[in-house]
Structure 1
Amino acid sequence: MSLFGKVEAEVEIKASANRFHETNSKRIAEIPKLSPNFIQSVDLVEGEWGQEGSVMNWYILYDGKAVLSKEVFETLDDKNHLVVYKVIGGILKEMYKSFKFILQAIPKGEGSLVRWTLEYEKLNADDPDASSMLQFCVGQSKDVDAHLGLE
């Protein structure tokens, strides 16, 4: 059984790809207000908001518990509405040797299609895949989209 895994999901949203991408790249500090059911707070640890290489502590509500995910903002691609966050500490590092969140917003009609790709390496072959985290990401995207429509 492989220790490497990848799970993907897509969700249609009403917000434009540009607006959703901007929120998840340049307006990260606002995400807890837009998605309080999933994200309690985000603290900038080093670097600058919206800049590659910046490090953030995400305090999330995952599986009914408040937990930390420490992540580095690895890739920012405004042209393709793509961001990549690499986990460097917290709850996911307890379960996975490596973990990346890849988020892309693709224009579709008046709204967009949000594609989440989670790439990971398990610590042990019998550890779970990342499907519950993928569902977390999808739910969080819907939450953000609902609030973006109210702005």
Structure 2
Amino acid sequence: MSKQVIVAVDHETKTITWKVIGGDLLELYDSFTIITSCDHHWTTWTFLYEKKTEDTLEPLVLLAYVLHVTKEIENHLL
């Protein structure tokens, strides 16, 4: 679970930036920002985060979830 706020929308570059402001992610990371951008047939997801400790794992579960949702949206649109 996480609570996010949209901090930027750029219609020209088709980019949306979210900042996580609460929830489970901030228990593991000091900061977490998600950037999505679309370019014709491609969607790019970028995660910018700062780990609280060196032992904190990479957010691979979140990455797998985002990949799954993106594929589901693609299947729906096709």
**TM (normalized to structure 1)?**
0.49
What is the Cα deviation at residue 130 of structure 1?
1.8
Which secondary structure state, in structure 2, belongs to the residue aligned with residue 84 of structure 1?
A: strand
Match of 1:83 among 11, 16, 31: 16
What is the Cα deviation at residue 79 of structure 1?
1.1
**Identity rate, percent:** 32
Q: Deviations over 1:34-70 (max 9, x none)?
A: xxxxxxxxxxxxxxxxxxxxxxxxxxxxxxxxxx210
Runs of 4+ in 1 over 3 A off after TM superposition: none
Aligned to 1:103: 36
Match of 1:143 among 59, 72, 75: 72
Alpha-carbon distance in 1 for matches of 2:46, 2:68 = 14
What is the Cα deviation at residue 148 of structure 1?
2.9
Alpha-carbon distance in 1 for matches of 2:12, 2:20 = 24
Unaligned runs of 5+ in 2: none
Are residue 93 (structure 1) and residue 22 (structure 2) matched? no
Letter in 2 for 1:83: I
Q: Deviations over 1:73-117 (max 9, x none)?
A: 01101111110110000111111110011111111xxxx111111
Aligned to 1:44: none
Which secondary structure state, in structure 1, belongs to the residue aligned with residue 54 of structure 2?
A: coil
Q: Deviations over 1:112-139 (max 9, x none)?
A: 1111110100111100012221221111
Query: RMSD over aligned Cα, in angstroms?
Result: 1.1
Unaligned runs of 5+ in 1: 1-67
Alpha-carbon distance in 2 for matches of 1:79, 1:94 = 34
Which secondary structure state, in structure 1, belongs to the residue aligned with residue 36 of structure 2?
A: strand
**TM (normalized to structure 2)?**
0.90
Which secondary structure state, in structure 2, belongs to the residue aligned with residue 125 of structure 1?
A: coil
The size of the alignment, in residue pairs, is: 78
Which secondary structure state, in structure 1, belongs to the residue aligned with residue 67 of structure 2?
A: helix
Q: Which has the higher contact order (CA 8 A, sep 6+)?
A: 1
